[in-house]
Amino acid sequence: ASCLPAAALNPEKGWACIDGCAAPGNKTTQLAAMVGKEGGVYAFDADAQRLKRLKENARTTGSDGIIRAKCQDFLTVDPEAETYASVRALLLDPSCSGSGTEVNRGDIMLRHALGDTGDGDDDDDDLDDERIDKLAAFQKSVVRHAFGFPEVERISYSTCSVHTKENEEVVRDVMDAAKRHGFRLAHALPKWHRRGIPIDGLSHAEAKCLIRADPIDD
């Protein structure tokens, strides 16, 4: 599933791209392989330790000559800067709740083995809702910031969350800004079987442009 965002973005050979929330770099190195030595990937992450891992991954995969890693919050990057004037595609995989990865987490497995589904604590549920709301607000700000890069033709947004609030609702809520900047939803990976979930304000046709991956079945 982690390979799907770059595949959906599908940058052409020689393109300059940005990975806005890059570390630890798995998607970044995938992008680098797609654009090749004729292109380039600007990789941003505000966490120096995580960026160090990205640089190590780039060296291991031989893509360190393609990836330009920068310890910087993507939201502080100037879209009008001359450095990024040729950027054609952006990959965005911002911080999320990680709810789609719970199936692989030992603490979750243990909790379920003990019969605790986590459904009985309203205080915990309220805290989760508050956290997801804050994450969704951040995610929307990241996508809206991406619209400002003048030569960008394609943007891929993804999370490892199962919540509509971090996925379909984010897409729905940024669409007005997207249209103002000349963007529209494209039908990502048309042969992929699992599509987005229709919600209020996001039609069935629009949801079909989106893809999902089930943490167990896919």
The answer on whether 21 is annotated among ligand-binding residues is: yes
96 is catalytic: no
Q: Do 54 and 28 meet the contact criterion of CB atoms below 8 Å apart? A: yes
H or E element, residue 92: strand 87-92
The answer on whether 22 is annotated among ligand-binding residues is: yes
Nearest Cα to Cα of residue 89 among 46, 57, 42: 42
- Would you tell me how many other CB atoms lie within 10 Å of the CB of residue 17? 29
Tokens at residue 217, please? 């079945």
CA dist list (Å): 177 to 182, 211, 216: 9, 21, 34
The answer on whether 94 is annotated among ligand-binding residues is: no
CA dist list (Å): 11 to 120, 121, 190, 209: 46, 45, 16, 18
The answer on whether 133 is annotated among ligand-binding residues is: no
Terminal C-alpha separation, the chain: 8
Tokens at residue 58, please? 């780039």
3 state DSSP class of 108: helix
Catalytic site residue from 3, 96, 160, 209: 160
Nearest Cα to Cα of residue 100 among 162, 159, 158: 162
CA dist list (Å): 151 to 26, 116, 181: 25, 50, 11
What are the catalytic residues?
160
Residue set of the binding site for S-adenosyl-L-methionine: 21-27, 45, 73, 93
